[in-house]
Amino acid sequence: MHNLTDNVLMIKVKEGDLDKLGLLYERHKRRLFGFFYHMGNNPSVSEDLVQNVFVRILKYRKSYTGEGSFTAWMFSMARNVNYDHHKKVAKESISREISPEDANSGFEDGLNDQMDHEGNKALLNRALGLLADDKREVLLLSKYRELKFHEIAKILGCTEGAAKVRVHRALKDLKTIFLQLETT
Amino acid sequence: MKEDKFEIQAVDFISGSMTEDEARRFEKFLDENPRYQEKFNDLQDAWGMMEEIDSPKPSEKMDEAFFEMLSNEMDKQRSKSSKSGLLSWFPIIFKPQLAYGIFLLALGLGIGYVLAPTTASGPTEVLVANHETEEVRQKLVLTLLEQPSANQRLQGVSEANKFENADEIVIKALLQTLNSDSNVNVRLAAIESLTNYVDNPTVRQGLVQSIPNQESPLLQITLANLMVALQEKASIEPFKQLLQEKQLDTTVKKRIEKSIQSII
């Protein structure tokens, strides 16, 4: 139902009712921000990238067909935005990105000594940060329950089975890294 | 079970993409294979971890930037649509229907120009019409000159003035009026009318011949003045005849003598 509404909203945006993009933004901004953040961008860069996604949505609104979910369409754009950003950064050889674990470690470590639960989360974030980019990406996409595996497969450009295998292996790696971090 | 198949099924199971039957079968498989059960437990743990992963809240600056971008875009769209309102007239102008219409109009004008009657035929018709009018006027003049009322005869003479080129019949009628009309005014009007045709020898001759017939001093003086103006030498003899008339007015007599002198 939510998906359908997203699609209807996007169709309206396509027809020129740009106001409706505000609603879509409110619905998805947190998720997109989280995606960029966990993909290794600092919060400020992540915010810029969220903005870039919506700029692209506006720019390419005419190409939206309404087939498949809006979320899948949006995430395939988000993926491209992230890819372009990292390519640009690598080209300029100024890596402004700060991985989330680095960004947080400074002040969180002290707090984590007292709060075990929070410590686990920080460790988890670090573990995620240490995962290979493609594995992190597939895990983040599968985290959003709205995306079906065939949609994730489409975003990644592989078969549905391959997407599932990737999720499986990524989860396995995540667990391994997490355990390693915990023991050190 | 092959490793690949297990990986896929495990992901299906934890993500809830399996049907009940499939899920039951998978659970049974795990029960029977402790090695896979262990793998699956690790996977489930990791899946649970992913649930716990969260990210900081984006700042309000992100919202501000987004809504500013959106409102700019909306303004742009509005100005574009108002521009396109003006531009939308151009396709109408260049519509094939309109071009076709203009072509047909031009074709029509061209055909009209080619098929139009030649300009020569216009004046011919006008001449014919004029000729008919002249005929009617001639009849009118002749009729009016025969009327008993002097007023109508005067009207006839003034109608005769309207001829561009009076023919013989009208001139004869005017000369006859000049010689025999009972009313002086009508005769005077006839002289006036005949002065339009002094180039015509018949008119000049008629005027000269009418000199002895005139008894009215007014007419005698008018004729004398006219003859001086025309320098008509043939008029000297009739004037000399007139001078011999005993009843001739002295003023007229002097005037005629003066005229004869100026003609000679």
CATH code, A16 = 1.10.1740.10
Question: What mean pLDDT is predicted for residues A156-181?
Answer: 90
Q: Evaluate whether residue A179 is within a structural domain.
A: no
Confidence (pLDDT) at B89: 59
Across the interface, whether the CB atoms of A50 and B15 are under 8 A apart is answered: no
Across the interface, whether the CB atoms of A121 and B53 are under 8 A apart is answered: yes
At residue A171, what is the residue type? L
Identify each DSSP E strand in chain A by its residue range.
Answer: none
Q: How far is A143 from chain B (nearest CA, A)?
A: 7
B109: helix, strand or coil: helix
Across the interface, whether the CB atoms of B66 and A164 are under 8 A apart is answered: no
Which chain B residues are Cβ-neighbours of A124 within 8 angstroms? 49, 52-53
Domain containing A39 equals 1-98
Q: How far is B6 from chain A (nearest CA, A)?
A: 9
Residue B52: closest CA among chain A residues belongs to which residue? A121
Measured between alpha carbons, how far is B56 from A45 in angstroms, rounded to an integer? 13
Q: What is the largest CA-CA distance in chain A?
A: 56
Q: Evaluate whether residue A27 is within a structural domain.
A: yes
Q: Evaluate whether residue A21 is within a structural domain.
A: yes
Q: Evaluate whether residue A11 is within a structural domain.
A: yes
Q: Evaluate whether residue A25 is within a structural domain.
A: yes
A35: helix, strand or coil: helix
Q: How far is B4 from chain A (nearest CA, A)?
A: 7
State both tokens at B199.
């180039």
Q: Evaluate whether residue A142 is within a structural domain.
A: no
Which chain A residues are Cβ-neighbours of B11 within 8 angstroms? 142, 149, 164-165, 167-168, 171
Sign of the dihedral defined by the CA atoms of residues A66, A68, A69, A71, in that order: negative
pLDDT at A127 over 80: yes
Average predicted confidence (pLDDT) for chain A: 82
Confidence (pLDDT) at A81: 93
In tens, the pLDDT along B40-86 reads 998 888 888 888 887 888 889 999 999 999 998 888 888 877 766 66
Q: How far is B66 from chain A (nearest CA, A)?
A: 6
Measured between alpha carbons, how far is B97 from B105 in angstroms, rounded to an integer? 12
Q: Evaluate whether residue A36 is within a structural domain.
A: yes
> ipTM value of the model?
0.78
Q: Evaluate whether residue A14 is within a structural domain.
A: yes
Domain count, chain A: 1
Per-residue pLDDT of chain B (264 residues), as tens digits, is 677 788 888 988 888 888 899 999 999 999 998 888 988 998 888 888 888 887 888 889 999 999 999 998 888 888 877 766 666 655 556 677 788 889 999 999 999 988 887 655 556 667 777 777 778 888 888 888 888 888 888 888 888 887 777 778 888 888 888 888 888 888 888 888 888 888 888 888 888 888 888 888 888 888 888 888 888 888 888 888 888 877 778 888 888 888 888 887
